[in-house]
């Protein structure tokens, strides 16, 4: 794997983990009524200002109707690729499926980057550090919900 591909992969993984947490944070996490409490607790832990809270709410409202990254779509493409491979699909069919997968992945990466940039601009350096420290300590979405 060349250096550019490795760098892109590392950045994608970092962005995915950061923004998956950011998305859970922006939505409030959880189900039903419990999400609002976790959202408020997390804001308190980061010591967001009223202005930051206002900007976050405006951002959420403005982006609520935008298409989200769809893991189901990617799974469907992987399943389609597996079936095509097993059934001996032509090279061009496999390449076409792969192209659709790459396009969908690129769109998801672009949305993650947009969210990452929003949070970078919203949070102070100290808040960003605290956010990342929580991720490293296992209190983020990947190791359970924000506590």
64 pLDDT band, cuts 50/70/90, is confident
Q: Would you say residue 21 lies in a domain? A: yes
Domain limits for position 53? 3-28+38-136
Residue 46 φ/ψ, nearest 5 degrees: -85, -5
**Sign, Cα dihedral of 65, 71, 112, 108:** negative
The per-residue pLDDT for 117 is 93
Q: Residue 142 domain-assigned?
A: no
Q: What is the pLDDT of residue 69?
A: 64
Indicate the number of domains in the chain. Answer: 1
Residue 28's pLDDT is: 44
Rounded-to-integer distance, Cα 53 and Cα 43, Å = 8
In this prediction, residue 138 carries a pLDDT of 60
Q: What span, in angstroms and rounded, lies between the C-alpha atoms of 100 and 107? A: 11
Q: For residue 147, is it within any domain?
A: no
Task: Kindly report, residue by residue over 19-49, the tens digit of the pLDDT.
Answer: 444 444 444 444 444 456 666 677 678 888 9
Pull the structure tokens for residue 58.
Answer: 């405006």
Domain assignment present for 52 = yes
Residue 42: name the closest of 58, 62, 68, 23 by CA: 23
Does any domain span residue 16?
yes
In a domain? residue 60: yes
Per residue in 85-130, pLDDT tens?
A: 999 999 999 999 999 999 989 988 888 899 889 989 999 999 999 8
Segments in the chain forming alpha helices (H): 3-27, 34-46, 50-63, 71-86, 91-122, 125-136
120 occurs within a structural domain? yes
Here the tokens at position 57 are 């709410």
Is 143 a member of any domain? no
CA–CA distance, 126 with 129 (Å, rounded to integer): 5
**pTM exceeds cut of 0.95:** no
The total of other beta-carbon atoms located within 10 Å of residue 146's CB is: 18
- How confident is the model over 37-62, as a mean pLDDT? 83
């Amino acid at each position: 794997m060349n250096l550019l591909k490795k760098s892109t992969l590392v950045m994608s993984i970092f962005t995915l983990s950061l923004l998956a947490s950011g998305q859970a944070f922006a939505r409030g996490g959880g189900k039903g009524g419990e999400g609002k409490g976790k959202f408020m607790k997390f804001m308190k832990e980061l010591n967001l200002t009223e202005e930051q809270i206002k900007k976050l709410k405006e951002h959420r409202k403005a982006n609520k109707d935008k298409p989200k990254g769809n893991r189901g779509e990617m799974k469907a493409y992987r399943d389609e690729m597996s079936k095509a491979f097993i059934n001996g699909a032509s090279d061009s069919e496999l390449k076409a499926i792969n192209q659709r997968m790459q396009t969908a992945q690129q769109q998801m990466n672009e949305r993650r980057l947009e969210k990452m940039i929003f949070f970078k601009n919203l949070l102070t350096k100290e808040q960003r550090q605290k956010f990342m420290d929580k991720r490293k300590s296992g209190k983020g979405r990947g190791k359970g919900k924000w506590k």
